[in-house]
Amino acid sequence: MTRRTTSAADRTSGTVTEEPPTTDSPRMRLAHGERKTRPWDRVLAPARYRHPGDVIRLIAAGLVLAVAAVTAVLLPALLRPAAAITAVGPATAAGQVLTGLVQVTVAAAALVLLVAALRYRRFRVLVTVAGGFAGAAALMAAITYLAGPGGSALPVGLRQGSWLAGAGFPDPAVLAGLVAVTVAAAPWLSRPWRRAAWAMLLLIGVARLVTGGLLPMQVVLALATGVTVGAGLLVAFGVPDRRMGCAGVAAALRAGGVPVGQVTGPLATAKGSRPFEAVTGDGRALFVKVFGSDQRDADLLYRAWRGVRLRDVGDTRPAASLLAAVEHEALLAVMAERAGVAVPHVGQVIRAKDGSVLLTMELVAGQSLDHIPDDRITDQLARSLWREVDRLHQARIAHRSLHGSNIMISQDGCPRLTDFSFAELAATSRQRAIDVAELLTWLAGRIGPDRAVAAAAAVIGASGVAAAVPLLQPLALSAGTRREIKGQDGLLKNTRAAAIAASGDDADKDLVRLQRVRPRTLLAIAALAGAFYFLLPQIADVSSSWHALQHVNWAWLP
């Protein structure tokens, strides 16, 4: 994902302005070549970062929790003891054995976690998971209270005894807390321990269902609540930074047949990949992009957000795997080079042992366009850039992220296009027009609308400029371009006016509607939902909207 915040738009181009020491220390890696830190990232320890996969889990679990909570409120019968599964009665010997095993397992797991945290001095992790347990338990208790009957599916007589030894333990609140602890502690556990923790939770849930100690809806609510709280903690406080460093990159390159002598980086903070510089044994300089699961998750998150928010912007489905995504970027760069477009020469795609994928390419000596001063962006340079874009579009390739950080200016002053991770083969006219609108807006923010439009019209013609006029709007632009023109009031309006003047009667002056769901649409949906659930029962003089639908006269529907 910028890719957007997340996917292609914010990636680094292949320039190296500093050479930080070669080290795998997270503190050293983040201390060099890094962009300005965002305010909400400063709270993270140097050895932590936010994994986009945790954001995906937070959103997914939150949606499941919302649906389950609403269902429980509307159908309170799902939280009544009559809905319990009682294949093994809680009063039978088998039920008592299962209940006892569950209680012993929970107590033993809590003790092991406490001892391990103290043994390895993970006090911050211990406090975090303890807070997650309390938060998830409180949230689950509140949901159960608001939905109706709380506590347990067991009859009152079977809930007698102490809190730990009673047949009602663990209740839904405790189960939600255990799930939150498992999710929040998972990044610090090895894979076998993570699997053991989830297997334990699965057995606890099944045992409680079989003995009738919990209802199916309570298990769903507890699971969704725990994952939501646990993922929220990981998003807030970050996870250990175990991403591949210089030594790992060097080892992966050598295993892939690239004899490197030195690896430096990461060179900058980039959303789409982690860039490194490598020097081979014969002195060749390589630019290496390392892709991990965090970049894959960021891409999925970014594309999902655009799919929900926008329409007709030419986005396609994400690749089936991380390797396929990197292969797609390499293929597009090779196809662009074959079409005569100035791009860095692609070397190899290498899969590392930890699942990361490396893409090697020629290192371009120079600077990215967004680091070039405004007075050095001449009309000749702008026309040269448009010629490269025209060659790209003649080959029916859309770059999909044409802004300054993805355009390299080599030492001889020639522009090169980089980062084809979001590019598309067999591009539609709309996708190519979005490319033109993106680059036109970015250049207008640096050299002014008139010069930017004149350079474009001199190369791609009036018809090429006209196609971009309806797309000269913020929603059609990447986050990188929007940041570049932020604070330049009236820039898009003036750029549209200049583009219309240059394209004449060919231009469609109406903006294309790209937003799929508008805020007023959401407000209308919320108002209709409120009217349905609150006004309809009162008008029909029944206890609920469901009863109203049961007694409706369908003859009036037409």
| pLDDT tens readout for residues 280-291 | 988 899 999 999
Question: Domains along the chain?
Answer: 8-35+242-362 (no CATH), 48-240 (no CATH), 366-506 (1.10.510.10), 519-551 (no CATH)
Q: Which one of 162-176, 286-300, 446-460 scores highest in mean pLDDT?
A: 446-460
Measured distance CA(485)–CA(471) in Å, rounded:
16
Give 58's pLDDT tier (boundaries 50, 70, 90). Answer: very high
Answer whether residue 167 shows pLDDT above 90. Answer: no
Mean pLDDT of 436-459: 95
Q: Alpha-carbon distance 362 to 364, whole Å? A: 6
Residue 313: what are its φ and ψ, rounded to 5°? Answer: -105, 5
The phi and psi torsions of 358 (rounded to 5 degrees) equal: -110, 140
pTM over 0.85: no
Strand, coil or helix: what is 362? strand
Length of the chain: 558
Q: How far apart are CA 116 and CA 125, in angstroms?
A: 11
pLDDT at 514 over 90: no
Question: Which secondary structure element, helix H or strand E, spans residue 276, and what is its range?
Answer: strand 274-280
pLDDT in tens, 182-197: 999 999 888 898 998 8
| 35 band by pLDDT with thresholds 50, 70 and 90 | very low
Q: Share the mean pLDDT of the chain.
A: 81
* C-alpha distances out from residue 402 to 318, 390, 418, Å: 19, 12, 9
Q: Are 176 and 225 in contact (CB under 8 A)?
A: yes
pLDDT of residue 88: 58
Q: Are 286 and 279 in contact (CB under 8 A)?
A: yes
Question: What are the angstrom distances between the C-alpha of 284 and each of 258, 281, 366?
Answer: 11, 7, 16
118-122 long-range contacts (CB < 8 A, ≥24 apart) are: 122/188
β-bridge mates for residue 415, sequence order: 409
Query: Has residue 61 got a pLDDT over 70?
Result: yes
What is the pLDDT at residue 252?
A: 95
DSSP codes joined into one string, 528-543:
HHHIIIIIHHHHHTSS
Strand 239-240 to 48-49 pairing: antiparallel
What angle separates helix 216-237 from helix 123-147, to the nearest 10 degrees?
A: 140
Q: Which pLDDT does position 179 carry in this prediction? A: 95
Taking the C-alpha atoms of residue 359 and residue 350, their distance in angstroms, rounded to an integer, is 6
**CA atoms of 156 and 159, how far apart (whole Å):** 5
> Residue 320 — pLDDT band, cuts 50, 70, 90?
confident
The encoded tokens of residue 362 equal 């020629």
| Distance, CA of 331 to CA of 128 (rounded, Å) | 44
H-helix or E-strand containing 407? strand 407-410
Q: What is the mean pLDDT of residues 60-69?
A: 92
Alpha-carbon torsion (503, 506, 508, 514), positive or negative: negative
Q: Which residues are CB-contacts of 26 (< 8 A; sequence separation ≥ 6)?
A: 46, 47, 241
Over residues 2-26, the pLDDT tens digits come to: 333 333 333 333 333 333 333 333 3
Span between the terminal Cα atoms of the chain, in Å: 46
Region 213-240 average pLDDT = 92
Query: What angle do helix axes 52-74 and 123-147 make, rounded to 10 degrees?
Result: 20
Q: Choose the weakest-confidence range: 77-91, 287-301, 345-359, 376-390.
A: 77-91
